[in-house]
Amino acid sequence: MINNFLIINFIGQDDKLGLRINKDFFIHVIKKEDNMSETLVSKILKFLLKHKVKLNQNFSVIVNQGPGSYSGVRIALSVAKGLEISNKVKLFGFRNTDLKQFDLENIEQLLNKKLIEKKLIKPIYLS
């Protein structure tokens, strides 16, 4: 079961980060002007530091695999893979169409219905 996680929704529209620690859930909206590859990593790190998150093998990262913009999906996957390698977190992916709304209730439904994929990241790009 996935308890504590960071969810990255960075596909070029309505970009957000979500964080569940213990039973608390926090959302950070990524503004369009901030939506650049150089700022995603620093935004994630500030978001995790703000909520005093310890990344380890008991923590999970869930990343949106698309469909979405090519750059956004690739950047999100790269950052998530970097977190997996450097901190030994568990990595999962989901399809944008499986998450109706970015809130804890819908994310938990995504997890309960097993609509996430472990270790197999298959990005879907918009043409």
pLDDT digits (tens, 9 = 90+) for 32-47: 765 466 788 888 999 9
124: pLDDT confidence band, cut at 50, 70 and 90? low
Query: What is residue 36's predicted lDDT score, i.e. its pLDDT?
Result: 64
pTM for this structure? Answer: 0.87
What's the CA gap between 99 and 107, in Å, rounded?
A: 7
Residue from 91, 98, 23 nearest 63 by CA: 91
Q: What is the pLDDT of residues 61-93, one digit of tens each?
A: 999 998 888 888 888 999 999 999 999 999 999
Provide Rg for the chain, Cα atoms: 13
Cβ atoms of 98 and 121 within 8 Å: the answer is no
Q: For residue 82, what is the DSSP state? A: H
Q: What is the mean pLDDT of residues 45-55?
A: 94
Query: What is residue 53's predicted lDDT score, i.e. its pLDDT?
Result: 95
For residue 125, pLDDT over 70 is answered with no
* Coil/strand/helix, residue 66: coil
Q: Residue type for 89, please?
A: V
